[in-house]
Chain A
Amino acid sequence: MILEVINISKEYIRAKKLFSAVSHVSFSSAEGNLIGITGPSGGGKSTLFHMISGLVKPTSGHVRLFDQEITDMSNDRLAELRRTDIGYILQGQNLLQNFTLMENICMPVYMGKRFDGAYQKGLELLDIFGLKGMENEYPYSLSGGEQRRVSIIRAFIHSPKLVIADEPTSNLDIENASIIMRFFKRASEQKITILVSSHDIDLISSIATQKYKMINGELTLWK
């Protein structure tokens, strides 16, 4: 299994009360699956993704990635995983404004100090996402949709085994959303496991091989 989420929960203190953001969630995925999770805002999707990518430790439960238990891994080891085997697409605009698009795209590679072929791959991905010739532009000259596409390219630049995309299509028009989802579909066909969340049930249902709903921190299979 590429991904095993075993009974994980995350609790926060919110307004002096214990708040359960994710409650006893379990699921797993084999290589090349496209897992879609839908549900309303505040349902716990982002917290779940943060725990799977190692950005947040679960209160209880375990996450296994590529047959390794990550729950007890150090932050530095988790960072290494994120720049080698995981591509993480954060919610919202997440490009560094003082770096060109190509530099933003190659940032995981820079952090891993392995540059081989990344530049060429970046050019190819820019072409696929309709941003050909814009590698030396700065993010501020791009529209929101274009910036989101660059974030997605960045998540794929280091050839990860798992890509986690948190609401990659929010606030995007149908055309931009379709470009992204089609790319995810193609990536999963190339054995990259994709974990994607979206409010848009239709968008998820059209591409996902494994579909879930997440409401009030609880994950349920959705067929």
Chain B
Amino acid sequence: MNRNKKRLLTIFDIAVRNLELRKIRTGFMIFFVCVLALSLFVISVIVNSMEQRLNNTIDRMGADIIIVPSSAAADVVNSIFLGESFSLYFDKKMSASITSVSGVAKITPQLYIATLDAACCSQPTQIVAFDPKTDFTVRPWLDKLQVTNLEKDQVLIGASILANAGDKIKFFTHTFEVIGVLEKTDTGFDNRVYMDFQDAYELMRTPELQNIISGQIKNEKSAISSLMVKIDDNADARIVAAYINHALRKLPIKAYTRNGMFDKFSDSMKTMVYYSNFLIVLTFILVVLAMACIFTITINERKHEFGILTAVGATSFQITAIILTEAALIGITGGFFGIVAAGIILIIFQNTIFLLFGIPSITASVYFLNVTALMCIGVSLFVCIFSSLYSTLQISRQEPLLLIRGEE
């Protein structure tokens, strides 16, 4: 190896040389730290993506309360959260009693149609019809795209639908013009196609849909799938939802608050976070124990080496600094490789991970990824320093002669 022969060797150089000498030991220690950093990084990114997705979904709903058939709540959640499409209807006359409920500011209906197979899409698409006159959920998106209104046979599509503005797409027997593509949200909203109620009613007349609808509703012109409710500024969504449910008590539809609707997802996410934390703590303890064992065993073997350094004038501070620098180098290297490995795993196994955790993509921001990477390296560094403390203390308190003799 080419060494700079005339340079003053520093504590850092000595530590690096010591690590190089014991390649297998160093390799194992880096591996342990790598596993810790990898687990920490992967879990943090997945949990963050799930949290972000839940928050995005809740924020994107645009309504404070949603009223759906009691039996369809889970379908609505899956449609919004996972992008699964469904069709379920109730008569809009059922909503008559809601407008007078205290705290209700605005109400707008939506109609959901699940396409069976569409030329534009590789997967079933959720068509959502909205009423431009009363709508307050889709309107902000239209404004963002500078679209004043949806005309007949015009649709607005989510970012996951494979079409561009100006393209024609076909649902059943009807062809529509795409007038805008919505910003990617990494939620089920990306898999939706928005159209006017009139277009949706025409679609519903197609024989394929008639078969599905006929069992649920007599007149398709009075069919709706949900009612989106905006509450007064000072109103409490839970209280308003309770009032609405009281008004709807004899009907098969139910009001859910925006947050309440996703309670189940929220709870399962909390459970996942709990188990993830448990796994991280367990990995942390195992890595600390393994590292502490390796440090203790090898430091005992290296007493003679430290004895020689003591004999030639190294202070206990310098000996301590050498051991801690070795630990820090292992921590930083292990942490770095752990993050690189985590990145590779997240890329290679992304489909499996997305399927397993119900996330469409890694939605973590670059800032979050950087902070998490730094945090993982910090934890790796801490683990190594912490694991080496006992050995360091042992050596620094040892009589110089015992070090020279290599005695415990």
Contact = CB atoms under 8 A, between A and B. Distances in A.
Interface of A: 50, 53-56, 75-76, 78-84, 88, 90, 94-100, 102-103, 106-113, 115, 119, 135-136, 154, 158
B20 A82 contact: no
A111 B313 contact: yes
Contacts of B9: 99, 103, 106-107, 110
Given A56-B399, A94-B308, A102-B5, A80 B315 contact: yes
B315 A90 contact: no
Given A98-B17, A98-B20, A136 B3 contact: yes
A135 B400 contact: no
Listed residue (B317, B399, B400) with the most chain A CB atoms within 10 angstroms of its CB: B400
Contacts of A79: 310, 313-316
B311 A88 contact: yes
Contacts of A81: 313
A154 B313 CA distance: 11
A81 B314 CA distance: 10
Given A82-B311, A98-B17, A98-B18, A75 B316 contact: yes
B313 A84 contact: yes
Interface string B67-83: 00000000000000000
Contacts of B145: none
A84 B14 CA distance: 20
B119 to A, nearest CB: 69
Given A76-B317, A110-B10, 8 more contacts: A75-B316, A79-B313, A81-B313, A95-B308, A103-B3, A113-B8, A136-B3, A154-B312
Given A76-B317, A108-B313, A136 B5 contact: yes
Given A55-B400, A98-B17, A102-B5, A107 B309 contact: yes
B314 A96 contact: no
A102 to B, nearest CB: 6
B133 interface: no
Listed residue (A76, A103, A110, A115) with the most chain B CB atoms within 10 angstroms of its CB: A110
A24 B216 CA distance: 110
Contacts of B318: 111
Contact of B312 (A56, A76, A102, A108): A108
Interface in B1-39: 3, 5-6, 8-10, 14, 17-18, 20-21
A9 B9 CA distance: 38
Contacts of A75: 315-316, 400
A135 B313 contact: no
A76 B316 contact: yes
B5 A80 contact: no
Contacts of B316: 75-76, 79
B149 to A, nearest CB: 77
Interface of B: 3, 5-6, 8-10, 14, 17-18, 20-21, 305, 308-318, 399-401, 404
B313 A82 contact: yes
Majority SS at the chain B contact face: helix
B314 to A, nearest CB: 5
A50 B401 contact: yes
B401 A55 contact: yes
A50 B400 CA distance: 9
A99 B8 CA distance: 13
Contact of B6 (A50, A84, A119): A119
Nearest to B308: A94
A56 B14 CA distance: 26
19 contacts: A53-B311, A55-B310, A55-B311, A56-B399, A56-B400, A79-B310, A79-B315, A83-B313, A84-B313, A88-B311, A90-B308, A94-B308, A97-B21, A98-B17, A110-B8, A110-B9, A111-B312, A136-B3, A158-B313
Q: Which 7 A-B pairs have CB atoms at the shortest separation, nearest pair first?
A: A83-B313, A98-B21, A82-B313, A115-B8, A55-B400, A79-B315, A108-B312
Listed residue (B3, B10, B17, B313) with the most chain A CB atoms within 10 angstroms of its CB: B313
A90 B313 contact: no
A8 to B, nearest CB: 15
A53 B312 CA distance: 10
A152 B308 CA distance: 13
Contacts of A50: 401
Contact of A96 (B3, B6, B8, B305): B305
B323 to A, nearest CB: 15
B351 to A, nearest CB: 46
A86 to B, nearest CB: 8
Contacts of A94: 308, 311
Nearest to B2: A136
A215 to B, nearest CB: 22
A83 B317 CA distance: 14
Nearest to A90: B311
Nearest to A81: B313
A97 B132 CA distance: 82
Contacts of B5: 100, 102, 119, 135-136
A83 B313 CA distance: 4
Contact of A99 (B17, B310, B315, B399): B17
A106 B8 CA distance: 9
Nearest to B3: A100
